[in-house]
């Protein structure tokens, strides 16, 4: 929500009037140069939206706020006029994960969240094969940098919905002064910079949920790779038939030799070389230019957490994964016979904490009916990622 300031206004006044933490107000207004505001400056108020009420009955908002959001009206007009702008605190989630969560759904909800919570930083880290933007959002200002991603695999798109639901709950806690399982949300915001790429493989997700694209040659190629079938529910790869989570240079040659697909396929084909795909290149560049202390890659399914690779994981990983297991009920698994994944590569090159979390259980794609249970199990895990060192 945007408000036009008067000459004697300060950010502290707006923080007090709207009960919004001063830190969030500062971060939501990087365009402002000082605490003292100038006449006509536009101030973003995070966690609010503007509404037009049908009646002024029982409105308890101070007249000073109403004057700021209705600068075209006099004080007398405000107290008598029914057609005024009324700032309303957002207390309900915007994200609706209980649907086919394709790229359009993700973009619509990201745009809304960035509008209502302008302290979010949104970046495009690259583009998919079909040119869709790969979004990263950042929340927080702490020295500890943590990264979360979802939908590396196309038919695991439910991970994007789960991630976005947590993001929404985190934002609501920040702007409404709530705690998260007893943890102060604002303290986490000040201690942690959270990086999120909610949908690494948007082309693949759209393929699974919406069918083949109109663009050629990709339409003909994916149908051919899929043996002529228009049922893409088992598709894990990107739109070129390359498994993005087998594309990273961590013993990639081992995966190349033993994987059965030797050409583009719905799943498991690691490509003809590592890091050939724009999606994996973007993720590698993002990771290399930041200093993530830990990464969490969300997949489905199995209710397991993979946390070791080649003995290169740091000692603190065990304490963290034990906490992840405690709060989620998921099983911690140190080593699996797998290479060339994003987590593998992160541990291999960074020697820092990396975790692959397999949400839910059953057969991919998991039914949307599992979403509530998956989110309930994983909420504490998301939170533990922020408070654990």
3-state secondary structure the chain: CEEECCCCCEHHHHHHHHCCCHHHHHHCCCCCCCCECCCCCEEECCCEEEECCCCCCCCCCCHHHHHHHCCCCCHHHHHHCCCCCEEEECCCCCCCCCCCCCHHHHHHHHHHHHHHCCCCEEEEEEECCCCCEEEEEEECCCCEEEEEEECCCHHHCHHHHHHHHHHHHHHHHHHHCCEECCEEHHHHHHHEEEEEECCCCHHHHHHHHHCCCCCCCHHHHHHHHCCCCCCCCCCCCCCCCCCHHHCCCCCHHHHHHHCCCCCCCCCCCCCCCCCCCHHHHHHHHHHHHCCCCEEEEEEECCCEEECCCCCCCCCHHHHHHHHHHHHHCCEEECCCCCCCCHHHHHHHHHCCEEEEEEECCCCCCCCHHHHHHHHHHHHHHHHHHHHCC
What's residue 372's pLDDT? 97
Residues 6 and 110 placed together within one structural domain of the fold: no
**CATH number where 133 lies:** 3.40.630.10
**CATH number where 67 lies:** 3.10.350
What's residue 114's pLDDT? 97
Which residue range(s) make up the domain with 16? 2-89
Residues 133 and 194 placed together within one structural domain of the fold: yes
Does the structure show a pLDDT above 60 at 6? yes
76-100 pLDDT, tens digit each: 665 555 567 788 899 999 999 999 9
Q: Which is more confident, 77 or 330?
A: 330
Angstrom distance (rounded) from CA 348 to CA 308? 10
Class of residue 93 by CB neighbours under 10 A (exposed 0-12, middle 13-18, buried 19+):
middle
The model carries a pTM of: 0.95
Please give the average per-residue pLDDT across 55-75, as a whole number.
70
What's residue 323's pLDDT? 98
Reported confidence tier of residue 60, pLDDT bands at 50, 70, 90? low
Name the average pLDDT for the chain.
Answer: 94
Residues 49 and 133 placed together within one structural domain of the fold: no
Does the structure show a pLDDT above 90 at 54? no
Closest CA to 384 of 165, 166, 137: 166
Reported confidence tier of residue 374, pLDDT bands at 50, 70, 90? very high
202-255 pLDDT, tens digit each: 999 999 999 999 999 999 999 999 999 999 999 999 999 999 999 999 999 999
Sign for the CA dihedral angle at 106, 107, 110, 115 comes to negative
What's residue 63's pLDDT? 75
- Of 29, 64, 89, the residue at which a domain comes to its end is 89
What's residue 78's pLDDT? 58
Residues 47 and 139 placed together within one structural domain of the fold: no
Does the structure show a pLDDT above 80 at 101? yes
Does a structural domain hold residue 208? no
Reported confidence tier of residue 355, pLDDT bands at 50, 70, 90? very high
Please give the average per-residue pLDDT across 166-181, as a whole number.
97
Please give the average per-residue pLDDT across 38-63, as a whole number.
78
What's residue 26's pLDDT? 97
Residues 107 and 62 placed together within one structural domain of the fold: no
**Could you give the number of structural domains in the chain?**
2
Residues 165 and 296 placed together within one structural domain of the fold: yes
Residues 347 and 313 placed together within one structural domain of the fold: yes
Positions marked catalytic: 358
What's residue 50's pLDDT? 86
Does a structural domain hold residue 124? yes
Please give the average per-residue pLDDT across 131-137, as a whole number.
98
Does a structural domain hold residue 210? no
What's residue 77's pLDDT? 64
Angstrom distance (rounded) from CA 75 to CA 331? 62
For residue 297 the two structure tokens come to 């890659």
Please give the average per-residue pLDDT across 169-177, as a whole number.
97
Reported confidence tier of residue 65, pLDDT bands at 50, 70, 90? confident
Please give the average per-residue pLDDT across 51-67, as a whole number.
66
Rg (CA), the chain: 23
What's residue 83's pLDDT? 66
Residues 110 and 39 placed together within one structural domain of the fold: no
51-60, 235-244, 325-334, range with the lowest pLDDT = 51-60
What's residue 69's pLDDT? 80
176 C-beta neighbours (distance < 10 Å), count? 14
């Amino acid at each position: 929500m945007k408000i036009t300031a008067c000459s004697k206004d300060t950010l502290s006044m707006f923080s007090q009037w709207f009960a919004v933490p001063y830190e969030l107000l500062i971060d939501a207004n990087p365009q402002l140069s000082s605490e003292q505001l100038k006449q006509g400056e536009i101030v973003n108020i995070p966690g609010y939206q503007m509404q037009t009420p049908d009646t002024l009955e029982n409105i308890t908002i101070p007249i000073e706020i109403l004057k700021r959001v209705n600068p075209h009206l006099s004080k007398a007009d405000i107290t008598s006029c029914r057609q005024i702008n009324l700032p309303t605190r957002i207390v309900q989630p915007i994200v609706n994960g209980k649907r086919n969560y394709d790229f359009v759904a993700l973009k619509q909800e990201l745009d809304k969240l960035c509008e209502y919570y302008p302290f979010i930083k949104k970046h495009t880290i690259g583009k998919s094969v079909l040119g869709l933007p790969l979004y990263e959002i950042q929340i927080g200002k702490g020295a500890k940098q943590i990264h979360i991603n979802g939908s590396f695999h196309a038919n695991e798109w439910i991970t994007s919905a789960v991630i976005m639901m947590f993001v929404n709950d985190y934002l609501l806690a920040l702007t409404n002064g709530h705690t998260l399982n007893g943890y102060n949300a604002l303290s986490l915001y000040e201690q942690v910079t959270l990086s999120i790429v909610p949908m690494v493989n948007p082309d693949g997700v759209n393929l699974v949920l919406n069918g083949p694209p109109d663009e050629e040659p990709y339409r003909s190629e994916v149908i051919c790779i899929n043996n002529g079938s228009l049922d893409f529910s088992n598709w894990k790869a990107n739109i070129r038939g390359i498994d993005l989570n087998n594309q990273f240079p961590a013993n990639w040659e081992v995966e190349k030799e033993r994987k059965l697909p030797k050409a583009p396929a719905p799943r498991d084909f690691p490509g003809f070389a590592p890091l050939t795909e724009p999606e994996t290149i973007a993720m590698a560049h993002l990771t290399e230019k930041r200093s993530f202390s830990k990464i969490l890659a969300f997949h489905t399914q199995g209710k397991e957490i993979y946390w070791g690779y080649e003995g290169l994981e740091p000692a603190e990983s065990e304490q963290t994964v034990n906490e992840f297991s405690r709060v989620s009920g998921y099983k911690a698994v140190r080593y699996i016979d797998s290479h060339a994944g994003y987590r593998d590569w992160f541990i291999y090159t960074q020697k820092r904490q990396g975790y692959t979390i397999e949400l839910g259980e059953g057969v991919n794609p998991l039914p949307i009916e599992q979403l509530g249970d998956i989110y309930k199990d994983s909420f504490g895990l998301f939170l533990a990622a922020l408070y654990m060192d």
